[in-house]
Structure 1
Amino acid sequence: MLISYIIIDATSTLNKESDRFLEFDELLCVGISTNYDDAIDLILEKKPQLIFFHFSNEIPLHLLLSVQQYLEKLPYVVAINATEEYAYKALKQGVMDYVLLPQLNSELRKSVLKFIKYYKDTSMEKLCIKSNGDYHFIPLDEIIYLKADNNTTDFYLQSGKIISGFKTMKFFEGQLPFYFFRVHNSYIVNIKFVTRINLGKFDCFLFDNMYKIPFSRTFRENIDAIIKRIGKI
């Protein structure tokens, strides 16, 4: 299970605490914003499951109202501020948790653990794959990687099974969550199963090195993102 999050903060307050997020293997940072307009674009583009929002005069709380015009559901928002009086207003605007400064060090961990519990209780992520006359409902966490095969897509599963879906990989790519990375025109990998990357030979190893697949220069940024997350650089 991986959970995407972003940080919205016009100051360096949360950036100084970024190492604290690395304690949690479940969390993957997909963006940081330091101004109002970029914050809205980041939320709409990345659609994170969790937002750490240090609101201020530069990026006010009503940012959430602006975002709600475009989303069916607001992500889980942890609001951060030094004023307790703003807590009620924040909760009225859809915030799920509120952390007071300067108690950030002691409260941030609690807030993350609370969200992880909430997410595990509500998450039921599966992908529907049509193969011949069958409909397979596969938990996303069991998919090791996808391989394009002309107009079909092969799904390699943790159980050892291979299921062929009668759609192109581009079609399935649009349905996959953030922790699936395209590393080649013909391959998409689940970051959970990446165990080794050889930059010199352009090889990516999965599932305790059981599978070796190539990656291409075109998707080098995605490889760098995988290395940064797994290596916690």
Structure 2
Amino acid sequence: MIRAIIIDDEFNAINNLKWEIENFCDDIEICDTFTNPKNAISAINYLKPDCVFLDIEMPEMDGFQLLSQLDYRDFDLIITTAYDNYAIKAFKEHAIDYLLKPIDSEDLTETISRVRKNKNDNILGDEVKKIIDSISKQNQPKRLALSLVGKTKYVNMVDILYCKSDGNYTDIYLKNGDKEMLAKNLKEFEASTSSDFFRVHNSYLVNINYIKEFVKSDGGYIVLENGTHIPVSRSKKTELLEVLNS
């Protein structure tokens, strides 16, 4: 018997999946179901299921955040989602199966057959361990080596509030209030940053995680968490709002 846990923030989705399992997969025992991902973490660690059906898009904590907090990882992961996007495809490449909602009974039985084979081959959980390791590496702060006058300073990207062009140089403003001057122009420095940074203006590159407000008056500007006002180019407004609202 394969012991399973279902995690989804929608009761209807859980009930629909339970019906599919009960009618098409007679060797699956549903140990428990959860709409609260935080409660599910303790249950997985305690119940040690053979497989977990996990929704990705959930409030407070998404499915990938849940995975990163687990102690017990020796199970097959089946992602259930309504979104067939690039992120899901990337995880599928790591041999983690997913079911697109509304779940089709034929897709479900094919997925369960893979879980069954993994259990028989004693390789349960290998894919989950790989993807959790991948998540952990992705979540590590990226460090930048800043070549300054007479020294090299290493900073985490998460500690950079914004950068300002100064001709052939770039002024870097840090969360702790420090300011460093880099011997690169802003365009060169921008190429080394992550997707958390957005060029809001020809002279400004901003860490979007620290944007507190977008003000439409006075030509449009943003306010950072430390109170700094930074202008937004007219050509960048629409794209910036799309990024902030995504």
Please give the TM-score of this superposition, normalised by the length of structure 2: 0.52
2:88 paired residue among 43, 52, 70: 52
Residue 97 of structure 1 pairs with residue 128 of structure 2: yes
Q: Quote the offset at 1:172 in angstroms.
A: 1.2
Please give the TM-score of this superposition, normalised by the length of structure 1: 0.55
Measured in 1, the distance between the counterparts of 2:222 and 2:196 equals 15
Q: Paired residue for 1:84?
A: 112
User: CA contact under 8 A between 2:208 and 2:244: conserved in structure 1?
Assistant: no
User: CA contact under 8 A between 1:204 and 1:214: conserved in structure 2?
Assistant: yes
Count of equivalent residues = 156
After TM superposition, the structure 1 = structure 2 runs for residues 108-127 of structure 1, keeping only pairs within 5 Å, are 115=132, 118-119=135-136, 123-127=140-144
Give the secondary-structure state (helix, strand or coil) at the position aligned to 1:119: helix
CA RMSD for the aligned pairs?
3.7
* Residue 85 to residue 200, structure 1, CA distance change in 2 (3 Å): farther
Task: Indicate the percent of aligned positions where both proteins have the same amino acid.
Answer: 22
User: CA contact under 8 A between 2:146 and 2:153: conserved in structure 1?
Assistant: yes
Q: Quote the offset at 1:225 in angstroms.
A: 2.6
Measured in 1, the distance between the counterparts of 2:206 and 2:179 equals 14
Between structure 1 and structure 2, the one with the greater Rg is 2
2:223 paired residue among 198, 202, 205: 205
Q: Which runs of 5+ in 1 are unaligned?
A: 1-16, 43-50, 56-60, 65-75, 99-113
Q: Quote the offset at 1:163 in angstroms.
A: 0.5
Q: Which runs of 5+ in 2 are unaligned?
A: 1-54, 66-81, 100-107
* Residue 119 to residue 198, structure 1, CA distance change in 2 (3 Å): same
Q: Quote the offset at 1:222 in angstroms.
A: 3.2
Q: Quote the offset at 1:187 in angstroms.
A: 0.7
User: CA contact under 8 A between 1:182 and 1:222: conserved in structure 2?
Assistant: no
Q: Quote the offset at 1:226 in angstroms.
A: 3.7
Give the secondary-structure state (helix, strand or coil) at the position aligned to 1:167: coil
* Residue 116 to residue 192, structure 1, CA distance change in 2 (3 Å): farther
Measured in 1, the distance between the counterparts of 2:186 and 2:178 equals 18
